[in-house]
Amino acid sequence: MLFFSVLWTGLSVYLSLGWLHELTKPIGFVGALVVITFIAYVPGFMNAFLIGSVLADRRPPRLQVQTQPPICVLVACYNEGTNIAETLASFARQDYTGEVEVVVIDDGSTDDSLPIAQAAAREHARPGLQIRVLEQVRNGGKSKALNRGLADTTQALVITVDGDCCLRADALRKLVGRFLSDPKGTVAVAGAVAGAVLVRNSRVNLLTRSQEWDYFHGIAAVKRIQSMYHGTLVAQGAFSLYTREALNEVGGWPECVGEDIVLSWGLLKTGARIGYCEDACLFTKVPTSLGQFSRQRQRWSRGLMEAFARHGGLLFKPRMTTLFIWWNLLFLPLDLVYTIAFIPGVVLALFGVYWIAGPMTLLVLPLAMIWNLIIFRVQSLMFRSQSLKVRRNFVGFLFYSLAYTMILQPVCVLGYAKEALGLRKTWGTK
């Protein structure tokens, strides 16, 4: 995959020599090289690597197990009065035959989340499914809530689910099945498996429609490929499975705004392998306003910087996942160059000034189109295998393809700046 990607990048460099020469005139050779590197060379390398990897990926077949192990599910809940009952109802529909204990940790909610959760727990509990609700009087953050739940349970396998999510009926069975079937002996410690998080409120507006494609295309594809190289970089808090042994080894969830990525990198640091289960589907509610979306993605960006601050040594760890750690390190200059060079370049192109964006820029479109077609087919086949349909959302896809990054990447830059300046950290979406 690396060889194929380097060949593509070499072709990109050759084709861009004229562009480099022209851009050198207004901003100098070094400036032109930096701009073109992070607008064309690096994204081209990444796309080529992603395309080759997803075509080569073969999920290990699931083992047929006679007895499904007992599991506990931790649901950190803060002001989810409109969602938590539906979340708990989705556990009652699970086809998992092992013992399931669901522990809702109400983290000092100021709405009616607590009584609603307690009523839903009584309604949906049944043999094989125990639902308990723990109350934290003061809001202490998601990490404290999850660690409280961890300390209050004993099962060897621990799953986290957010309080505004709904699981498909086979989600727990498939997530645990993937964990039991993934490669053995590749690492010293069994680590985690991330589930597939998809959008459930995509019909609200154009922003949610485009996020549907971000989760279905971008996030899912990257997790699939990272797991192929034995290390999904984020076992997201919304839906992931961990071994208690691995969680105890790293001290549980760290207190920070990016607790899931910092925890994941801590697990990778121990030598753990983090997998991905592409067909264990959970549906979450995404931000519906630009302000909520901005605060969420700023939090994700700050979480990435927290992960580098605590586990930057992974850059030099000899394992395949290290490639993606370096990959993430490139996000900062990629987002910066896109924000301060490419977006202004698009504006200049509208007035006939083609220094940065122009006819040569169109050369990156065929590779992006190929990538989108391939991952769409892969994801569509996964949906079809579960009797799901990819709904028609052409307007959302058009916005996602052409304009989504023009919102996303400046927001990420703002998150980096806030973290670098040490500004106050908040969850920010409630």
**Radius of gyration for the chain, computed over Cα atoms and rounded to the nearest angstrom:** 22
Report pLDDT digits (tens) over 221-277: 889 899 888 878 999 999 999 999 999 999 999 999 999 999 999 999 998 889 899
Distance CA 275, CA 224 (A): 8
| Position 430 in a domain | no
| Position 202 in a domain | yes
Full domain range(s) for residue 146:
71-313
With beta carbons less than 8 A apart as the criterion, state whether 208 and 202 touch. yes
Q: Give the pLDDT of residue 189.
A: 41
Q: Give the pLDDT of residue 156.
A: 94
> Which of the residue ranges 16-30, 149-163, 248-262, 357-371 would you say has the lowest mean pLDDT?
357-371
Residue with tokens 């896109």: 338
| Position 28 in a domain | no
| Position 411 in a domain | no
**201, amino acid identity:** N
Q: Give the pLDDT of residue 90.
A: 97
Q: Give the pLDDT of residue 185.
A: 36
Residue 422 phi, psi dihedral angles, 5° rounding: 70, 30
| Position 395 in a domain | no
Two tokens at 100? 């399931």
Q: Give the pLDDT of residue 193.
A: 85
| C-beta neighbour count of 86 within 10 angstroms | 15
| Position 263 in a domain | yes
Report pLDDT digits (tens) over 297-336: 999 999 999 999 999 999 999 888 899 999 999 999 999 9
Q: Give the pLDDT of residue 68.
A: 93
Query: Over 90: is that where the pLDDT of 152 sits?
Result: yes
- Sign, Cα dihedral of 151, 197, 142, 245: positive
Q: Give the pLDDT of residue 184.
A: 63
Residue 260 phi, psi dihedral angles, 5° rounding: -75, -40
Report pLDDT digits (tens) over 393-429: 889 998 998 889 999 999 999 999 999 998 887 765 5
| Position 116 in a domain | yes
Report pLDDT digits (tens) over 88-135: 999 999 999 999 999 999 999 999 999 999 999 999 999 999 999 999
Q: Residue 319: helix, strand or coil by DSSP?
A: coil
Q: Give the pLDDT of residue 186.
A: 29
pLDDT mean over 74-96: 96
Number of structural domains found in the chain: 1
Report pLDDT digits (tens) over 373-401: 888 888 888 888 888 888 888 899 989 98
DSSP state at residue 40 = I
Q: Give the pLDDT of residue 429.
A: 58
With beta carbons less than 8 A apart as the criterion, state whether 219 and 260 touch. no
Q: Give the pLDDT of residue 221.
A: 87
Distance CA 232, CA 277 (A): 11
Report pLDDT digits (tens) over 162-195: 999 999 999 999 999 999 888 663 233 445 788 8
The angle subtended at Cα 56 by Cα 55 and Cα 62, nearest 5°, is: 110
CATH code assigned at 250: 3.90.550.10
3-state secondary structure the chain: CHHHHHHHHHHHHHHCHHHHHHHHHHHHHHHHHHHHHHHHHHHHHHHHHHHHHHHHCCCCCCCCCCCCCCEEEEEEECCCCCCHHHHHHHHHCCCCCCCEEEEEEEECCCCCHHHHHHHHHHHHCECCEEEEEEEECCCCCHHHHHHHHHHCCCCCEEEEECCCEEECCCHHHHHHHHHHHCCCCCCCCEEEEEEEEEECCCCCCHHHHHHHHHHHHHHHHHHHHHHHCCCCCCCCCCEEEEEHHHHHHCCCCCCCCCHHHHHHHHHHHCCCEEEEEEEEEEEECCCCCHHHHHHHHHHHHHHHHHHHHHHHHHHHCCCCCHHHHHHHHCHHHHHHHHHHHHHHHHHHHHCCCCCCCCHHHHHHHHHHHHHHHHHHHHHHHHHHHCCCCCCCCHHHHHHHHHCHHHHHHHHHHHHHHHHHHCCCCCCCCC
| C-beta neighbour count of 426 within 10 angstroms | 12
Two tokens at 326? 């370096």
| Position 372 in a domain | no
